[in-house]
Structure 1
């Protein structure tokens, strides 16, 4: 019996040593919340997750629809998501525990990559009488779903121009899809949408629901930049949407893929590497990624640090020292 026990113990030890020496890594599961299904971010996130699953054996990523950046950052902070999409403004607030995230700083928040600038798009019904942001007073307006990036942006812009948000508007907290239907049915005067160009919801409103895009005044943009340095002046080119005959001036901030410091360094390195090495293929199905440069991945991140795994890749290709 003692001999049999020794043989069994030897077999178990050998099996353990074989497993340890095989070099196999455990699969890293990535829950990847993105945004509403009608914007550009959700299909982009799905394409990226599919790429990671195809090219990286040790990563199993699942893109999920969500209420947008604030929701994503809360999920990451709570450990319910490992990756997410968010713009630098709310990224900064989550990292520092300010604004929307007052008293809830997430110092473990990290960036995998800075992507493209995400413009604010204010779409209104042609017959609403709205020509500028000041005309929103008393109107039925959708700042976005509760907790969404759109709602945060609406709050910042209207407050900066001296309006009392949300009391000065008749706020309806609905997402892109419902806002389009409500504008079409003349139950809503307008909606705030923040997404890359062109945005499906804005395209639908302007093409089928009698909508138009209005701009943000240059003096308000300058004022915003003094208080919130992550904002950039951005032009929506004429012809982007049906009936848009002129350029529209607005604000924009950079969109990022963010994560938590606890996510495995090797996994983040591989995800960063695979993302950038396949960026041209991704751009075929996700036009918002067209023309993206890896050099811009590490700039304008509002002071939020990159993940160590991402830093390794950027240093490897000479983008960072």
Structure 2
């Protein structure tokens, strides 16, 4: 009998101990493993674990892109977070473009948590090219690359700003842009990444480059979000750079409970400074970027922002 009671007592003790150390598992659908956004996801995963003393464990999953991330939100569980530009969420909820005839009521349950670094357009040119403005790309050899947001966006800008057919497009992969620029095989290249962009940092190392600014009129025409790359971001950059960006946001759904969403959001902002010290691209993220979110923010995240005195728009709540 004593042995039986001892076993029962031990079992109860173990159960209480395990309950006390219960972990919440979160799935983070990110991007291709080769992208900077996958690296960001890994950094965020580590930050959440650190901030919550391992109470929240975030597992990063590779993704083929933002459209896949949004589509999977319709059938993934409560503890699913993913990244995508806000515009894609709007398209999904309205069954437009790539989501036409793929409507799902679950899309209406998507809720934002916090912004992450934006996709930022860089038009990089060598100083010796003599290029000082977008119009001066005419007649120059420029690398667009292919299959990337930057390539698509760059081609759109060339057409939009009257340079289609007036630029010598280099048939070189974007991965070879930096050595091609340094070896004078090209005059410049288009690239999109969160800033500071690794390939732009590499290009600026040992070579004098310029990252071109766009005028306010050009940015308005592009229908993208204006973003300022502060002076000093890249070697030799003495002034701010005005360019375009595509905001990116971490989302979940109403299936996630309020406490988990609150803890995730709090952990992100608590750890942002430390993440910025390790990876500078986090430094460009601020609560001002919440204005880029179209639609509702998760109630748990709203609770955190209210506690921090952040002003939210009516559509966010």
Same topology, TM > 0.5? yes
Q: What residue is the counterpart of 1:46 in the other structure?
A: 42
2: CA distance between counterparts of 1:168 and 1:100?
31
2: CA distance between counterparts of 1:37 and 1:92?
27
Q: Residue 62 of structure 1 is aligned with which of 59, 71, 75?
A: 59
SS of structure 1 residue aligned to 2:295: coil
Q: Structure 2: give runs of 5+ residues left out of the alignment.
A: 1-7
Deviation of the 1:49 alpha carbon: 0.8
Deviation of the 1:31 alpha carbon: 3.1
The answer as to 2:184 corresponding to 1:191 is no
Q: What residue is the counterpart of 2:291 in the other structure?
A: 299
Change (3 A) 1:107 1:174: farther
Change (3 A) 1:269 1:247: closer
Q: Alpha-carbon deviations, 1:264-297, whole Å to 9, x = none?
A: 5543332112112333323322333347554x36
1: CA distance between counterparts of 2:300 and 2:292?
19
Alignment: residue pair count: 291
C-alpha RMSD of the superposition:
4.3
Q: Structure 1: give runs of 5+ residues left out of the alignment.
A: 1-10
Q: What residue is the counterpart of 2:5 in the other structure?
A: none
Deviation of the 1:202 alpha carbon: 0.6
Q: What residue is the counterpart of 2:68 in the other structure?
A: 74
Deviates more, 1:100-109 or 1:153-162: 100-109
Change (3 A) 1:197 1:22: closer
2: CA distance between counterparts of 1:172 and 1:108?
44
Change (3 A) 1:84 1:219: same
The answer as to 2:205 corresponding to 1:204 is no
Q: What residue is the counterpart of 1:121 in the other structure?
A: 122
Q: How does 1:242-321 map to 2 (within 5 A)?
A: 242-263=235-256, 265-290=258-283, 293-294=286-287, 296=288, 298-301=290-293, 303-319=294-310, 320=312
SS of structure 2 residue aligned to 1:240: coil
Q: Alpha-carbon deviations, 1:95-117, whole Å to 9, x = none?
A: 54555666656545432112466
1: CA distance between counterparts of 2:149 and 2:253?
19
1: CA distance between counterparts of 2:22 and 2:44?
21
SS of structure 2 residue aligned to 1:299: helix
SS of structure 2 residue aligned to 1:28: strand
Q: Is contact 1:76–1:83 with CA below 8 Å preserved after alignment?
A: no
